[in-house]
Structure 1
Amino acid sequence: MPTPAPPRPSRRTRTHAVALGLVALLGACSGGGDGPTEPPVTLPPVITPAKHAAPAPVVPPRWVLTGVASGEPVERPALAVKIENPKEVRPQTGLDQADVVWEQVVEGGVTRFVAVFHSQVPTEVGPIRSVRPMDPAIVAPLHGVIAFSGGQPGFVEALSAAGLQTVSHDAGNDGFYRTKGRTAPHNVFGDPAAFLAQADAGHAASPPEQFHFARRPELATAAVAGAPAAQVAVTMSTYSRPSWEWSAADGTWLRSESGTPATSASGSRLAATNVVTLRVDLVASGTVDPAGSPVPETKLVGSGEALVATGGKTLAATWTKASTDAPLTLVAADGTDVRLAPGATWVELVPNGTGAVTVG
């Protein structure tokens, strides 16, 4: 007799069995049971690099009148001193420590210096002489102190009117004295530190920039774009004929007076990193000196031809000065500002017509 088939599960029973299977499957997937499990996957963090501007280059402080780097320039005014230059007073004292020296023609064709001190303060300077009508245009842009011995009242008043503080031997200001071994009026010398100590609150600040400077000598405009030169000979007058010879060994221009090497009283050769010659008009000022000689005046407000000597090369340029208290600007033929090499600068005010500049 055949064995009867087992009873077929009901629909409800089948549904319950499927549900239990699903639960078991889900439990296995969720890590239940004895089987191995996959470790969790850890993704590395997403790092987005920050975008910053390149750091600014570190530019060391520089002396404003020379462009020479300095650890920390001293805050003090520029001091201009009038120093004479006839043959009988050479060698002068202190010229080798000036930041800038201006040479001007005075009566009789003799030249006189306006020596400007800022980065260095010598212990002595001289012989000190009187001011002239072109001095305000030279010194006013410095907004500092000018020391001198003598000068016509109108010339002295013009300095004060240009915003300068005057320190005068004739007025009895401190720091002046007469030395032995020299005859008057060539024996007045002075102590620059004493002159600077008299600066009032309105004239105590360091001067503004007077020339543009390259960061390094080889980047100076004349060094980059100029023509090689070994000498710059200047005719200031029939009496005064300074010249400058390039010394590659010293990296500087060396000064001579009518072919004789020019030195300071210290024995140092007078030298300049930059020699700038400006062609200027020399006119009668309408005044005479105590000897009755006409006093000339250099016209320094305006524009004219210039020659810049730097690094054994020379570059033709144009000078411009908008007003008495405006600084002088030097522009190259391509219209760009001329940048000098860091160091001392001598400026020769060469008269149009009677003066000359020869490059050799």
Structure 2
Amino acid sequence: MKRSARTRCGAPGVIAAAVLALLLSACSDGSDEPPAESSPSPAGPVLAVKIDNAPQARPQTGLNAADVVYVEQVEAGLSRLMALYATRLPGSVGPVRSARESDLELLAQFPEPTLVFSGAQSKLLPLIADAPLRPVTPGDAPAGAFTRDPARTAPYNLYVRPPRVQNRPAGAVALERAGFREGPAPGGGERVNERTVRLPSARFTFTWSAGRGRWLIAMDGRPAAEPDGTPVTAATVIVQRVEIRESRFRDFMGNNTPLTVTVGSGSAEVLRGGQAHRGEWKRPSAESGTSFTTPDGDPLNIADGPVWVMLVSR
């Protein structure tokens, strides 16, 4: 059609058309649609995975890839982990275990997070369904999202493949909104080479390694490691003292499930760079993030790298 149009035009029209074509080719890629990269891709939600921490579940997979690892108290004073993935989605995480009521309040500070878990008490399921999150279990997950390790026995052999659960990570901004902001450490820290944090039936020890620039983590007296032997480490450890009380739920053995309250305020200690900084935490509502500050009100920033948050009784 362009050729027949040029045939009908005179010489001036031919020249004008040629000039116009050159101008258009200089500022267009020949497509009527704008290039895809002209607008940023939307971020995904924060991905949270409940991970078993019984001795039979160790070594766990994917802890070093997490941006934040929460340590929670569960029945009989034992511990369970909830790992958050915001900046990357590792290939495998686990062993995956069940959710608790405390998870719902804790995750409410992240917009529409994804919670991966193996199941929950029947009375808790309606609360999970009503919570502002996307629940993912083996029964409703996309195809291939969960796998079983034949070398392990149930229930310590269930793993999730995060890239099969969602397409893209949330990005660091999701963590910043919840209160995890990188920045310089405040002055006045106390030199600490080792700190042990105890739950009723669990013990975590964090030992500073200047060579790695990380805290080496031991659980119940044994060094924590990934399956390939890589030590599990943290750049920042936050000891957050909270109210832990009985909930309305019990496990199949009759043990009460503790309820960890993460809305409110209390004392905190931030370990980073081989130093301990005492301070406070505050979270006015479930939808707001958690602020960590010194007694003078200065921010207690995190270091670059994984953060472990120990939710312990005040």
Scaled by the length of structure 1, what TM-score is found?
0.70
Between the aligned partners of 1:253 and 1:193, the Cα distance in structure 2 is 28
Between the aligned partners of 1:292 and 1:173, the Cα distance in structure 2 is 34
Instruction: Find 2:120's aligned residue among 126, 129, 151.
Output: 151
Instruction: Find 2:103's aligned residue among 128, 131, 135.
Output: 135
Q: How does 1:152-167 map to 2 (within 5 A)?
A: 152-167=121-136
Q: Could you tell me which residue of structure 1 aligns to residue 250 of structure 2?
A: 288
Q: How does 1:17-28 map to 2 (within 5 A)?
A: none
Between the aligned partners of 1:329 and 1:73, the Cα distance in structure 2 is 29
Amino acid at match of 1:184: A
Between the aligned partners of 1:206 and 1:77, the Cα distance in structure 2 is 11
Amino acid at match of 2:158: V
Instruction: Find 1:177's aligned residue among 147, 154, 157.
Output: 147
Amino acid at match of 1:178: R
Tell me the secondary structure at the aligned position of residue 166 of structure 2: helix
Between the aligned partners of 2:210 and 2:164, the Cα distance in structure 1 is 37
Q: Could you tell me which residue of structure 2 aligns to residue 109 of structure 1?
A: 77
Amino acid at match of 1:264: E
Q: Could you tell me which residue of structure 2 aligns to residue 227 of structure 1?
A: 190
Moved more, 296-305 or 160-169: 160-169
Instruction: Find 1:93's aligned residue among 43, 54, 61.
Output: 61
Consecutive unaligned residues in structure 2, runs of 5 or more: 1-39
Preserved CA contact (<8 Å) 1:211 1:340: no
Q: Could you tell me which residue of structure 2 aligns to residue 168 of structure 1?
A: 137
1:212–1:178: structure 2 CA closer, same or farther, 3 Å change rule?
closer
Kindly state the Cα deviation for residue 254 of structure 1 after the two structures are TM-superposed: 0.7
Preserved CA contact (<8 Å) 1:140 1:159: no
Kindly state the Cα deviation for residue 154 of structure 1 after the two structures are TM-superposed: 4.3
Q: Could you tell me which residue of structure 2 aligns to residue 14 of structure 1?
A: none
1:204–1:164: structure 2 CA closer, same or farther, 3 Å change rule?
farther
1:304 aligns with 2:266: yes
Q: Could you tell me which residue of structure 2 aligns to residue 186 of structure 1?
A: 156
Preserved CA contact (<8 Å) 1:93 1:266: no
Between the aligned partners of 1:255 and 1:169, the Cα distance in structure 2 is 30
Q: Could you tell me which residue of structure 2 aligns to residue 207 of structure 1?
A: 174
Amino acid at match of 1:207: A
Between the aligned partners of 1:85 and 1:125, the Cα distance in structure 2 is 13
Between the aligned partners of 2:286 and 2:228, the Cα distance in structure 1 is 34
Tell me the secondary structure at the aligned position of residue 108 of structure 1: helix
Instruction: Find 1:317's aligned residue among 239, 263, 279.
Output: 279
- How many residues align? The count is 272
Tell me the secondary structure at the aligned position of residue 183 of structure 1: coil
Deviation above 4 Å: which 4+ runs of structure 1? 203-206
Tell me the secondary structure at the aligned position of residue 229 of structure 2: coil
Preserved CA contact (<8 Å) 1:73 1:119: no
Kindly state the Cα deviation for residue 289 of structure 1 after the two structures are TM-superposed: 1.2
Between the aligned partners of 1:263 and 1:198, the Cα distance in structure 2 is 27
Between the aligned partners of 1:97 and 1:296, the Cα distance in structure 2 is 28
Kindly state the Cα deviation for residue 206 of structure 1 after the two structures are TM-superposed: 6.5
1:344–1:131: structure 2 CA closer, same or farther, 3 Å change rule?
same
Kindly state the Cα deviation for residue 73 of structure 1 after the two structures are TM-superposed: 10
Between the aligned partners of 1:74 and 1:309, the Cα distance in structure 2 is 34
Deviations 1:25-48 (A, max 9, x none): xxxxxxxxxxxxxxxxxxxxxxxx
Kindly state the Cα deviation for residue 260 of structure 1 after the two structures are TM-superposed: 1.4
Between the aligned partners of 1:204 and 1:309, the Cα distance in structure 2 is 24
Consecutive unaligned residues in structure 1, runs of 5 or more: 1-71, 353-360
Preserved CA contact (<8 Å) 2:240 2:281: yes
Preserved CA contact (<8 Å) 1:225 1:315: yes
Tell me the secondary structure at the aligned position of residue 108 of structure 2: helix
Kindly state the Cα deviation for residue 205 of structure 1 after the two structures are TM-superposed: 11
Q: What is the aligned-residue RMSD (CA, Å)?
A: 2.4
Q: Could you tell me which residue of structure 2 aligns to residue 357 of structure 1?
A: none
Scaled by the length of structure 2, what TM-score is found?
0.80
Greater radius of gyration (CA): 1
Q: Could you tell me which residue of structure 1 aligns to residue 35 of structure 2?
A: none
Between the aligned partners of 2:110 and 2:203, the Cα distance in structure 1 is 28
Tell me the secondary structure at the aligned position of residue 159 of structure 2: strand
